[in-house]
Structure 1
Amino acid sequence: MVPHLVTALTGPINELEQRILESTPVIERWFRLEWMEHTPPFYTSVDIRNAGFKLAPVDTNLFPGGWNNLTNEMLPLAVQAAMAAIEKICPEAKNLLLVPENHTRNTFYLMNVAQLQRIFYSAGLNVRVGSLNPDIKEPTTIDLPNGDRVVLEPIIREGRRLGLKHFDPCTILLNNDLSAGVPGILEDLHEQYLLPPLHAGWHVRRKSNHFRAYEEVAKRFGKLVGIDPWLINPMFAQCGQVNFAEGAGLECLQTNVDALLAKIRRKYKEYGIQERPFVVVKADNGTYGMGVMMVRDAAELANLNRRTKNKMNVIKDGQQVSDVIIQEGVMTHERIHDAVAEPVVYMMDRYVVGGFYRVHAERGVDENLNAPGASFVPLAFEKSALQPQPGSPPGASVPNRFYMYGVVARLAMLAAAYELEATDPEAERYD
């Protein structure tokens, strides 16, 4: 059963959907050619916001958790994509070591680990879970709320290989975003495949680099299908050397917020949009929805209270925020059971494999939904996510809307491929 959406079905979003549906063969060929030139990230999830007049990615995760939110109907797609991904990287792969985050008490997260284990087992691999947590000194079985169980084992380093006792993997899959930095045990593994690469971790990755790459992709895509790239692209600016605790660097923030709000107002005027624009200030690295605030007027930044400063100062693993991205706020007009919702699309290799709605009953259309209290409603595709229905009017078909989500998510994934190429420390540079 596909969740019923209450979505703004008039205005530019319908025109955008129509253009995308009419251009399906052109779009799919374009993606095919892009993937001949660029390597997709191993797996990706993309948060998308549908404002009714605009559809844009607002976050792209290269170490996605939440695989447990995919329905059983989606698993064959994920298994097929996992097979394709592994075949490209290490066709003779037999053993895969899955390295999760350290938080062993978060059973919801560990359900995601169990789901990943199931996907790769079904793809034909022996999968075991190796923990970087120093508290895991022997195989530890954790029972999960859904009846699954996961066994965490201590990782062993022997020479330049990583593994477990009596388990030597060809491939190591990180489901740990390395926010706190790279543990030495993961470095110099030149005889094993490490996925994603270390430079995809939040210790070096920056959202501003990603959205710079996305801006380029959106411009090329806009030209391809004949649309204004702004309809799929959130504008952004960046500030470095901000210290929220001490109130330093806030002038840079105010200036950039002011300038970006003025740009958004001009676009709203061009499209006759009556909504009040806002921007999202967030840590330029990191995930889990931490270090995020909404700003509607630059003057608000002059009087931040202590609670807001504390919230913005530190993100996951106690990392202090010094660089921020200021992103055009994209409201969401999607609702499930009267609660505000946003789609999250999951991909493996270059394929859309499913997704879910992040739903938050206590948040508004212009607020961050990735916060405590959020729940998840599966996108239970009646058909494959990539099967639009040609000929039906825009908005009339759920698969059509999902196809559009999948296109935008793949654009973000392509931008991530550009980003990883540009930041690869081992890539040869030709000036």
Structure 2
Amino acid sequence: MVPHLTTALKGSLLEIESRFLDALPEIERWLRGQWQEHTPPFYGSVDLRNAGFKLAPVDMNLFPGGFNNLDATFLPLCVQAAMTAIDKICPDARKLLLIPENHTRNLFYLQNVAQLAAILRLTGLEVRLGSLSPEVVRPTTVELPDGSRLLLEPLVRAQHRLGLDGFEPCAILLNNDLSSGIPPILQNLDEQFVLPPLHAGWAVRRKSNHFAAYDQVAGDFARLVGIDPWRINPYFSVCEAVNFHERQGEECLAANVDAVLALIREKYQQYGIDETPYVVVKADAGTYGMGVMTVKDASQVVALNRKQRNKMSVIKEGMAVSQVIIQEGVHTYEQVGSGPQAGVAEPVVYMIDRFVVGGFYRVHGGRGRDESLNAPGMHFEPLAFETSCSLPDQCQNPDAPPNRFYAYGVVARLAQLAASLELERTAPMEEQLSCA
């Protein structure tokens, strides 16, 4: 299954895919060199948008929650990549504590946790689940739709170590993005590896830091393969001290929306693109598609009604929005299905360590190609990707499935590399000194 791409024959993306295929040895060699200098996050997922004339990441998640949506054929890739990641961190690791999100009633999410735990167990680790939820005060069994079960256990803190009753792990893997803050029970764990590091959580992390790092990575990569970096990189800017309830920061928003739209119009004119430029205004921290709006004119951000202001004011865990990123909107011309059943689609690429381990399509039948698909009503295409993102076929056309997926994988790895730089630059000072 490959989604229908209405612009596949117009040439622009075909040119990018062709450049990637022609430069394949240089690309892989360059990426290998980058990974020798920078440590990739333990795992990550990248939301891509494919406009035909542009293929770019629009979000990077360091606590991916959709391993259950990956095709089963990619399980060996996941296990091998996880083995590599664990060997780097703690070659003698025997026990791992997995800490999921608190929403224990979200069975779709818990299926992701079950699949992630299964991958880790296949690496030879003993894996148990510890919950930060105040509701989990004793071992709690959760029944999943497929008939399997998860056992959630309360965490036990002892000085500088964290574990469970009778279980002392070598490492702790967070699948909880810490949107509501870093709880004291996770702090000062000097004797255990915590993956990803605590500053990767949304209590500290900012999307603008990631895309600043990606801007550097995309520029270096574009020079390597001889393309305009804009073809793989969305423009962005940031507004601080925003309060949607009090209508503070509207002038900053309007000015930045105008500035980014002007940059996009210039590029559209340069490449003869007959589309309406737009930006996406979203909370600079947070996930789950909350605090997001599509804007085509600066006047839209100074005329928000109460419902719109309420929507933009809070994100996950009820956290207030005080800083936003204004990001170039990238149209998605891919769709899954046909006729009344058609839905606009965007690829989501999953990685463990530096390896692409699969992907799937986020699909929304009620959204347009210039809107966020991460919204109620979306679904994940169960057939996922037909082929790995790591095996292009130079005997086929550049837009053949293996080659399009290779292009997805290249851009996703660039985002993973940017995440590496981001985490290095935002690490607490004591971590930077210990690594020096």
Task: State TM-score, norm by structure 2.
Answer: 0.97
- Structure 2 residue aligned with 1:74: 74
What secondary structure, in the 3-state scheme, does the structure 2 residue paired with 1:102 have?
coil
CA-CA distance at 1:76 after TM superposition:
0.7
| Alpha-carbon distance between aligned partners in 2 of 1:67 and 1:210, rounded to the nearest angstrom | 23
Contact 2:3 2:334 in 1 (8 A): no
Query: Which whole-Å deviations, capped at 9, do the CAs of 1:337-395 have from their partners, x for residues lacking one?
Result: 11000000000000000011000000000001001111001464444321000132221
What secondary structure, in the 3-state scheme, does the structure 2 residue paired with 1:311 have?
helix
Query: Which whole-Å deviations, capped at 9, do the CAs of 1:391-421 have from their partners, x for residues lacking one?
Result: 32221x1011000000000000000000000
Contact 1:57 1:408 in 2 (8 A): yes
| Alpha-carbon distance between aligned partners in 2 of 1:295 and 1:177, rounded to the nearest angstrom | 27
Matched, 1:120 2:120: yes
- Structure 1 residue aligned with 2:294: 294
Matched, 1:196 2:196: yes
Contact 2:264 2:277 in 1 (8 A): yes
| Alpha-carbon distance between aligned partners in 1 of 2:385 and 2:371, rounded to the nearest angstrom | 27
| Alpha-carbon distance between aligned partners in 1 of 2:6 and 2:167, rounded to the nearest angstrom | 50
- Structure 2 residue aligned with 1:132: 132
Letter in 2 for 1:170: C
- Structure 1 residue aligned with 2:244: 244
Query: Which whole-Å deviations, capped at 9, do the CAs of 1:136-172 have from their partners, x for residues lacking one?
Result: 0111111111222111000000111100111110010
Contact 1:111 1:148 in 2 (8 A): no
Contact 1:355 1:379 in 2 (8 A): no
Structure 1 residues 357 and 195: CA distance shift in structure 2, 3 A: same
Letter in 2 for 1:330: V
CA-CA distance at 1:301 after TM superposition:
1.5
Query: Which whole-Å deviations, capped at 9, do the CAs of 1:84-122 have from their partners, x for residues lacking one?
Result: 100110011011000001011111110000001100001
What secondary structure, in the 3-state scheme, does the structure 2 residue paired with 1:428 have?
helix
| Alpha-carbon distance between aligned partners in 2 of 1:253 and 1:195, rounded to the nearest angstrom | 35
What secondary structure, in the 3-state scheme, does the structure 2 residue paired with 1:222 have?
helix
Over aligned residues, Cα RMSD in angstroms? 1.3
Matched, 1:344 2:348: yes
| Alpha-carbon distance between aligned partners in 1 of 2:40 and 2:408, rounded to the nearest angstrom | 18
- Structure 2 residue aligned with 1:165: 165
Letter in 1 for 2:401: V
Given the alignment, which residue of 361, 364, 367 partners 1:363?
A: 367
Matches within 5 A, 1:30-429: 30-337=30-337, 338-378=342-382, 380-395=384-399, 397-425=400-428, 426-428=431-433
- Structure 2 residue aligned with 1:8: 7
| Alpha-carbon distance between aligned partners in 2 of 1:429 and 1:185, rounded to the nearest angstrom | 22
CA-CA distance at 1:429 after TM superposition:
10
- Unaligned stretches of 5+ in structure 2? none
Letter in 1 for 2:417: L
| Alpha-carbon distance between aligned partners in 2 of 1:399 and 1:5, rounded to the nearest angstrom | 15
Contact 1:355 1:378 in 2 (8 A): no
| Alpha-carbon distance between aligned partners in 2 of 1:4 and 1:146, rounded to the nearest angstrom | 27
- Unaligned stretches of 5+ in structure 1? none
| Alpha-carbon distance between aligned partners in 2 of 1:250 and 1:350, rounded to the nearest angstrom | 40
| Alpha-carbon distance between aligned partners in 2 of 1:220 and 1:147, rounded to the nearest angstrom | 48
Contact 1:360 1:369 in 2 (8 A): yes
Contact 2:359 2:385 in 1 (8 A): no
Contact 1:381 1:399 in 2 (8 A): no
| Alpha-carbon distance between aligned partners in 2 of 1:385 and 1:279, rounded to the nearest angstrom | 28
Query: Which whole-Å deviations, capped at 9, do the CAs of 1:171-207 have from their partners, x for residues lacking one?
Result: 1000000111100000111111100000101111111
Task: State TM-score, norm by structure 1.
Answer: 0.98
Letter in 2 for 1:411: L
Contact 1:43 1:348 in 2 (8 A): yes
Contact 2:210 2:422 in 1 (8 A): yes
Structure 1 residues 156 and 361: CA distance shift in structure 2, 3 A: same
| Alpha-carbon distance between aligned partners in 1 of 2:148 and 2:234, rounded to the nearest angstrom | 39
Identity of counterpart residues, as a percentage?
A: 63
| Alpha-carbon distance between aligned partners in 2 of 1:3 and 1:104, rounded to the nearest angstrom | 34
What secondary structure, in the 3-state scheme, does the structure 2 residue paired with 1:427 have?
helix
Structure 1 residues 380 and 374: CA distance shift in structure 2, 3 A: closer
Query: Which whole-Å deviations, capped at 9, do the CAs of 1:40-60 have from their partners, x for residues lacking one?
Result: 011000000000110000000
